Amino acid sequence: AQTVTQSQPEMSVQEAETVTLSCTYDTSESDYYLFWYKQPPSRQMILVIRQEAYKQQNATENRFSVNFQKAAKSFSLKISDSQLGDAAMYFCAYNFWGGNKLVFGAGTILRVKS
């Protein structure tokens, strides 16, 4: 069975600084997708970024980028120029190709200090 592990229950970052959230996963599939979702206090789940396993190039979305290491089964999220609005719970999630079943990590709470 696929598993997703987020080893950092909480992280803090100073406003305008850079922070990296870690995620590792376990799967025997070769074709899959990885996602980072943001959950602010409103509890709405917001897609931040996604990565297709067959693409070697790391995904980027404005201030958000990933470091995808397929062999190591690692998928970290880097947030640059952190803003107060980035404070939230961040979830790493896995979905195999053609699947409909997201597997989530336990989440990392990100606090942003002004």
In the complex, which residues of this chain contact another protein (CB under 8 A)? 4, 33, 35, 37, 42-45, 47, 50, 91, 93, 95, 97-107
Q: Least CB distance from residue 72 to another protein, whole Å?
A: 21
Q: What is the distance between the alpha carbons of residues 37 and 40, in angstroms, rounded to a whole number?
A: 10
Q: Shortest gap between Cβ of 114 and another protein (angstroms)?
A: 27
Question: Residue 111 or 113: which CB sits closer to another protein?
Answer: 111
Query: What span, in angstroms and rounded, lies between the C-alpha atoms of 99 and 43?
Result: 24
Nearer to another protein, 19 or 103 (CB): 103
Query: Can you tell me which residue has the tokens 């640059």?
Result: 80
Nearer to another protein, 35 or 75 (CB): 35
CB of 99 to another protein, least distance (A): 8
**33-64 core/surface letters (b: 16 or more CB in 10 A; e: else):** bbbbbbeeeeeeeeebbebebeeeeebeeeeb
